[in-house]
Structure 1
C-alpha cells in the first residue's frame, strides 16, 4: 500500500544527483561547490564499521560494544502499531513512543529479538555524539567534510521512520549498516508539509505531520504538491548523502538494524547564534501586532536583513555602524548582552 501511494504521488520519482568516491579528490572542496543534495556512492565503504556491518548484525554489535563508552543510551521505544513512525500521540499532548535509557547490550538484544518480524516494535537511538558514546568509532572511522569542526553523531534503530524535518547546519549522512531511504523536499515546500508545533517536537526539530507512507490527502491536500518535487534515494552501506542546510528530509530505516553516522557543520561561526532564536522572539513580539504594524516590520526586515543590507547602511559612517557593522565575536557578545538585558526586564 505504501509503495503504491508513493508511486501515485510521485510517478517515477525524482532522482538525487549522484557521484562516486572516485569522483571526489578533496571532500571538503567538493562539498563547498554544492548547493543541492548529492549522493556520493561508496564514500565510506572502507570504514571498519561498514565492513563489520556487511558481515553480520552480530559482528557489527560486537564492534559497537568494543567502541562504546558505557554511558547509557537515550532510547525511544514504541509499539508495533506505530509501524516505526516517530510521531505525536492522538491527544497531541505527547508522543507515540516512550523515552528511556539503556545500555548498548540491552538495546542490541532488543533489536535481535525483533529481527525478521514484519511489523516489529520500534527501537531507536537518535543523535548520539560519537565522542561521548562511541569514542572508538570516532577514532577508527574518520572523515573531514568541512573546514569547520563538524559535529559527528551515530543513529541506530530497526525499521524506524522519521518524519520530514530540517537542520540548520549542513549535513553529511553516511549509511553504515542497513539501507535507508531518504525523501528530500526543498526549503520552499514549508507550506505544503503541514509542519507541527516548533516548541513541542519529537527530537528537537519541527516535523511534518504527514505520514509520507500513508498520506491523508483529504486532511493534507497540499502535500501532493510537495511530492511533485520530492527527491528520493536509497543509501546502501558505505554511501553518503549531502543534505544542504534547511532542506527537509524524511528518513526510513529499511532493515532489521540500521546504523547511520552523520556530520553537521555550519557555514557561519557559532557565536552568531541560530535563526531559530529570532523566530521565537518574533513569535513573542511581532506575530500578535496589528496587521499594519506587522507589514511595517516585514518591510524593515526586508530592508535591513533580506534585501541589500550593505546599501541600507551605506550612508552611515563606519564609526557609527554599531550592530550594522560586520558581525564578529566581540560585536556578537555585546549584542547578545544587550538582548539578554532587554529580555530580563
Structure 2
C-alpha cells in the first residue's frame, strides 16, 4: 500500500533517560528511543552476526522448554487464523532456547523452511542472567523483561492493556501503530478465540483488502510507522493497536509490560456490558448510556456522588480496598440474583 499516509513518529534521545522518564509519564502517544539499548552486551553480540547472537542466547539457556510457534512456508510468516476461521495456520512445539536458535541458523536462506517464533517468554524462565547483563535504565516498576526470538514474521494488529517498551536486540522491526479510536476501522476478530492472547484485527496492513474491509482506508490515515534497528526501543501506551513485521534470519526483541493494575478488569466490564446492555431496546440503551456517562465517562463523573455524605456513598464512594471489595461483592450478588 502507498506510504503517502505514513506519519512520522515522535523520537526521544535514547541516551537521555530523564527525558524518557518524563515522556513516559506524560505520553498519550507512542515514541521511539533511538539507541536506548545500544550498550547492551546482547546488542553487541547481534552486531557480530547471527551466529554470535545465537551463541550468546544458547550460552545462557537454562534448558526450560519454550513454546515455539511453527508456521509453514506458504503462510509467508504471517501468524493468523485459517481461511475458514476454525483454527490457526501454525502449530506449537516445545524446545529450549539453544535448540530454537540452532534450528533458526540451520534454516537460514531456505525458502522452503518454516517460520519459527517463541514469544513473550519471561527471561528468568529461559535466560536467567539476561536482565542483569542488559539493564534497561528506565523505571518499569520491577517487571521482568520478556524475550521474543524467531525469523521473519508478521504479527496481526493487536493491542496491550499495559504500557509497553519494546527493545530490538537483533534483526529489524517495523511497527505500524493505530490509535485506540481506530477500533471501528480495524475489523476486530473474535475476542474469546484469539491467535495468541488479545483480539486482533482481521486486516493485513501489508496487503489490505479494501473491498472486504473498506473502513481500513481511514485507519491508514492515522497510522504511525516506527522502524527499529538493534538497540532502538519503542514506547507504546496502553490500547494502541500495533502490527509488527520482523525481518532477518534470527531476530530478537525484548519487551517490558508495566503499569497495568491487576485489580482492575476493564475487559470483563466490557463483556458484561455486552451481555446486559447491547441487545436492549434503543431507548433503554440510550438511558444506560447516560448512566455510564454520569458515573464513568462524563467530565463530572468524579463529583457524581458529592451530594451524599461519605458514609452513604457505598459502592459509589472514593477508591479504597474496602470500596473495591464492596463493588465486586455487589456485582457477584447481582449476577447470582439475576440482576436488580
TM bracket (short chain): over 0.9
Distance 1:215 1:89 in 2: 17
Relative to 1, partners in 2 of residues 1:191 and 1:340: Cα closer, same or farther, differing over 3 Å? same
Identify the residue that residue 202 of structure 1 maps to in structure 2: 195
Mapped contact 1:28–1:147 kept (Cα < 8 A)? no
Shift of 1:322: 1.6
Aligned residues: 336
Unaligned 5+ residue runs, structure 2?
Answer: none
1:287 Cα deviation from its structure 2 partner:
1.9
Gap regions ≥5 residues in structure 1: none
Task: Write out aligned runs for 1:223-238 (5 A).
Answer: 223-238=216-231
Secondary structure class of the residue paired with 1:261: strand
* Aligned pairs (5 A) from 1:181-260: 181-260=174-253
Alignment equivalent of 2:265, drawn from 270, 274, 299: 274
TM-score (norm 1): 0.92
C-alpha spacing 1:109/1:344, structure 2 compared with 1 (3 Å): farther
Tell me: CA distance 1:333–1:138, structure 2 relative to 1, closer, same or farther (3 Å): farther
Residue 328 of structure 2 is matched in structure 1 by 336
Q: Quick one: which of 151, 168, 178 aligns to 1:175?
A: 168
Q: Distance in 2 between matches of 1:222 and 1:120?
A: 35
Range with bigger deviation, 324-333 or 95-104: 324-333
Contact kept? 1:145, 1:263, Cα under 8 Å: no
User: Normalising to structure 2: TM-score of the pair?
Assistant: 0.93
2:15 maps to 1:18: no
**In structure 2, distance between residues paired with 1:193 and 1:143:** 33
The aligned residue for residue 71 of structure 2 is 78
| 2:315 match | 323
Q: 241-250 vs 123-132, which deviates more?
A: 123-132
Secondary structure in 1 matching 2:274? helix
CA RMSD of aligned residues (A): 1.9
Q: Which residue of 1 aligns with 2:292?
A: 301
